Amino acid sequence: MALATCHPDDGRILNMETTEKQRAIEALKTLPEQVTIEDALERLCFIAKIEEGLRQSDAGQLVSHDEIKKQFLP
């Protein structure tokens, strides 16, 4: 599956022509040299969750604001 690459400065998604491995490498390159393994994993998980949300949105798997309010507010 082709995935997006991250903008070298801030991790923004640029295109959909790279592999997951390439995208992960690019995301890790944007982190400072002194990054911890935990921080690197957190960044990769964050990107994965954003992309999953975008896939769900594209597939129409959305929940309205009103429905969320009904689920979480008394």
Residue 38 is assigned to a structural domain of this protein: yes
| Average pLDDT of span 48-56 | 94
Residues of the domain holding 65: 20-72
Q: In this predicted structure, what is the pLDDT of residue 3?
A: 44
Residue keyed to tokens 């597939």? 59
Neighbour count for residue 27 (Cβ, 10 Å): 19
Residue 46 is assigned to a structural domain of this protein: yes
Residue 8 is assigned to a structural domain of this protein: no
The count of structural domains within the chain is 1
Residue 36 is assigned to a structural domain of this protein: yes
- pLDDT tens string 7-42: 555 555 555 577 889 989 999 999 999 999 999 999
- Please state the pTM of the whole predicted model: 0.63
Residue 34 is assigned to a structural domain of this protein: yes
Q: In this predicted structure, what is the pLDDT of residue 18?
A: 78
Helix (H) or strand (E) holding 26: helix 20-29
